[in-house]
Chain A
Amino acid sequence: MHCPVRAMPSLRELQAAFVDAVFADGEAVRHALTPDCEPRFEVYRNNTFANYAAALRAVYPAIERLVGAEFFAHAARRYVRNTPSTSGDLHRFGADFSEFLAALPACGELVYLPDTARLEWLMHEAFHAADHAPLDLGRLAAVAPDRYDALTFCLHPACRLLTSPYPVHRIWQVNQADVADTATVDLAQGGVHLLVARPVAGVELDLLAAAEFAALATLARGETLGVALEQAARVDAGFDAARFLRRRVAARTLVDFRVTGGVMEM
């Protein structure tokens, strides 16, 4: 090989130089690679950016449609450069794309963009999340009524909660590939409380009342049913707790429970 004479760098140094060369400065790696392949290093640079951009496009199709393919490609390139992937599982890449978009001056007028991106990430997580058997209502019925307030519940692993001052579910819907470009959303219709879930096969969006959202968000934090119902009643004095439980068990939102201070009931 035709290489300059030098002390042999460690594997760690060579790999660090290679990564630097993909994202920023190729000087160190140039001396470590055989000269004949210098123009070919570009293949790795291109592959890397293309792979990550494709991963982002797969997770954020509505964002791409909102900002246009050209701007999305530009934003993706900057994001890829600034945001190291931290996992060998490519599906984990892009989690904080919404924060990145929020900080882009060019996106300032699209105030709903970060929350729409958050929604797409939560849908991506829900798509891949673990399965869980539904909760057996008979088991719940066997709990003494005076223990209800002390119950804590597990949400299905695919459930995600999102609240936004913008109607992001509508924004997401009209930015699907099969919807005409002319569809519009009235931002004045206000904010939403959303449950992202995968009750059977596909990911679904469930628009929740504020009180129901408060109850689920409280349960999702591991608080007891008693605390969750208090939170819901603060939002809506007429909140129907029994109906809430029945509906959320039937919809496979709540999939397990335990009596606090006691052992897990199986």
Chain B
Amino acid sequence: MRAATSRADVAGPIPARAGIGLRAPHYRELLDRRPDVGWLEVHSENYFGGGGQAHWFLERARRDYPLSLHGVGLSLGSADALSREHLASLRTLIERFDPGIVSEHLSWSAAGGRYMNDLLPLPYTEEALQVFCDHVCEAQDYLGCRMLIENPSSYVAWCDSIIPEAQFLRAVAERTGCGILLDVNNVFVSATNHGFDPLAYLAAIPVAPVGEIHLAGFDRGEHCLIDTHGKPVAEPVWTLYAEAMRRFGPVPTLIEWDTDLPPLDVLLDEAGRADALSGARDAVAA
């Protein structure tokens, strides 16, 4: 990350246009076709093994595409100490792939050493804010780079939460210097589930720290919307994205798809729609 623009063997920093989440079933097709998409994002933990096919493909893809490393397992919001082993694996990966963005979640996934490998909601309390900020600072110091922190989707809320989520995220950015990865689908899902106004949420997010936006699809569960990343981006989320573009301007925007992975072209079409909405397509054409 520190040398994102200086290494000659990899593509440059992440542009303010749409990228796609790269998953293993698309490795071969991506390398064969080298489609015109702005950048790629992968889940950091999928490369913690250190070698093999995943690394082979990513190294080749990295030559032609800017790359973002998106973590799902650091558990920044746990009362437990951060895992030094996890941080060390992430640092090794950063040194190897020189990503333009390194991101994690406003969530937790471990308690008393037991991991859930899921993105669980925090109680938005002063204590949790302190713990979260301490962990972000520790991680940024250790990794030697600024991180972006993503707002989660959630299905339950804690009685003890006294800080609205957007304000909590804003405070994290102010206290730690981290950036914000604004997941517009998560805003929509959580707003629907908890009955808050998604536009007010966007308005409470400060403009300057937002360094990336996520778009994905959700499913309708019996009692709430579920953030499955297994569908096209929903129409109301596109509408919210257009609002977000008005507020935050063109920002690197990721199409995320994890379950029921469709053909690569579907992701590319979604990325094209995001570019058209943000004006990035015109900028690229000009």
**Interface residues, chain A, CB within 8 Å of chain B?**
1, 3, 8-12, 14-16, 18-19, 22, 31-34, 37, 39-44, 47-48, 51-52, 84-91, 93, 126-132, 157-158, 198, 201-202
A-chain residues with CB within 8 Å of residue B117 when the two chains form the complex? 48, 51-52, 85, 88, 90, 93
In the complex, residue of chain B having the shortest beta-carbon distance to the beta carbon of A13:
B79
Given known contacts A10-B127, A87-B115, A128-B50, A39 and B158 CB-to-CB distance under 8 angstroms: no
B-chain residues with CB within 8 Å of residue A32 when the two chains form the complex? 123, 158-160
Given A1-B161, A129-B49, 14 additional A-B pairs, CB 8 A: A8-B125, A11-B122, A18-B120, A31-B159, A41-B156, A43-B155, A44-B120, A48-B117, A88-B74, A88-B75, A127-B49, A128-B48, A131-B51, A157-B50
Q: Closest CB of chain B to A84's CB: distance in Å?
A: 4
Q: Does B83 contact A (CB under 8 A)?
A: yes
Docked complex Cα distance between A158 and B53 (Å)? 12
Contact partner of B223 (CB less than 8 A), chosen from A31, A40, A44, A198, is A40
A-chain residues with CB within 8 Å of residue B72 when the two chains form the complex? 88
Q: Is the CB of B224 within 8 A of A131?
A: no
Q: Is the CB of A129 within 8 A of B111?
A: no
Some 15 contacts from A to B, beta carbons below 8 A apart, are A10-B127, A11-B122, A11-B123, A19-B111, A19-B112, A19-B114, A32-B123, A34-B157, A40-B221, A85-B114, A88-B117, A89-B48, A128-B48, A128-B50, A157-B51
In the complex, residue of chain B having the shortest beta-carbon distance to the beta carbon of A43:
B155
Docked complex Cα distance between A166 and B24 (Å)? 33
In the complex, residue of chain B having the shortest beta-carbon distance to the beta carbon of A2:
B159
Q: Does B73 contact A (CB under 8 A)?
A: yes
B-chain residues with CB within 8 Å of residue A131 when the two chains form the complex? 50-52, 55
Docked complex Cα distance between A55 and B112 (Å)? 22
Given known contacts A18-B111, A84-B114, A157-B51, A10 and B79 CB-to-CB distance under 8 angstroms: yes
Docked complex Cα distance between A89 and B155 (Å)? 23
Q: Closest CB of chain A to B120's CB: distance in Å?
A: 6
Q: Is the CB of A11 within 8 A of B83?
A: no
Most chain A Cβ neighbours within 10 Å, of B79, B85, B89: B79
In the complex, residue of chain A having the shortest beta-carbon distance to the beta carbon of B125:
A11
A-chain residues with CB within 8 Å of residue B224 when the two chains form the complex? 37, 40, 43
Q: Is the CB of B155 within 8 A of A91?
A: no
Q: Closest CB of chain A to B230's CB: distance in Å?
A: 12
Docked complex Cα distance between A132 and B55 (Å)? 12
A-chain residues with CB within 8 Å of residue B56 when the two chains form the complex? 201
B-chain residues with CB within 8 Å of residue A22 when the two chains form the complex? 116
Q: Does B226 contact A (CB under 8 A)?
A: yes
Interface string of B107-140 (1 = CB under 8 A from A): 0111111111110101101011001000000000
In the complex, residue of chain A having the shortest beta-carbon distance to the beta carbon of B54:
A128
Q: Does B45 contact A (CB under 8 A)?
A: yes
In the complex, residue of chain B having the shortest beta-carbon distance to the beta carbon of A54:
B259
Q: Is the CB of A43 within 8 A of B51?
A: no
In the complex, residue of chain B having the shortest beta-carbon distance to the beta carbon of A33:
B156
Q: Does B185 contact A (CB under 8 A)?
A: no
Q: Is the CB of A16 within 8 A of B158?
A: no
Q: Is the CB of A41 within 8 A of B155?
A: yes
Q: Is the CB of B86 within 8 A of A88?
A: yes
Q: Does B176 contact A (CB under 8 A)?
A: no
In the complex, residue of chain B having the shortest beta-carbon distance to the beta carbon of A52:
B117
Q: Is the CB of B115 within 8 A of A86?
A: yes
Q: Does B78 contact A (CB under 8 A)?
A: yes
In the complex, residue of chain A having the shortest beta-carbon distance to the beta carbon of B50:
A130
B-chain residues with CB within 8 Å of residue A18 when the two chains form the complex? 111, 120
A-chain residues with CB within 8 Å of residue B79 when the two chains form the complex? 10-12, 15
Docked complex Cα distance between A131 and B50 (Å)? 7
Docked complex Cα distance between A10 and B80 (Å)? 12
Q: Closest CB of chain B to A256's CB: distance in Å?
A: 15
Q: Closest CB of chain B to A85's CB: distance in Å?
A: 4
Q: Is the CB of A88 within 8 A of B110?
A: yes
Q: Closest CB of chain B to A94's CB: distance in Å?
A: 12
In the complex, residue of chain B having the shortest beta-carbon distance to the beta carbon of A127:
B52
A-chain residues with CB within 8 Å of residue B73 when the two chains form the complex? 87-90
Contact partner of B155 (CB less than 8 A), chosen from A11, A19, A40, A84, is A40
Docked complex Cα distance between A201 and B127 (Å)? 48
Q: Is the CB of B113 within 8 A of A84?
A: yes
Contact partner of A158 (CB less than 8 A), chosen from B51, B120, B159, is B51
Docked complex Cα distance between A84 and B80 (Å)? 15
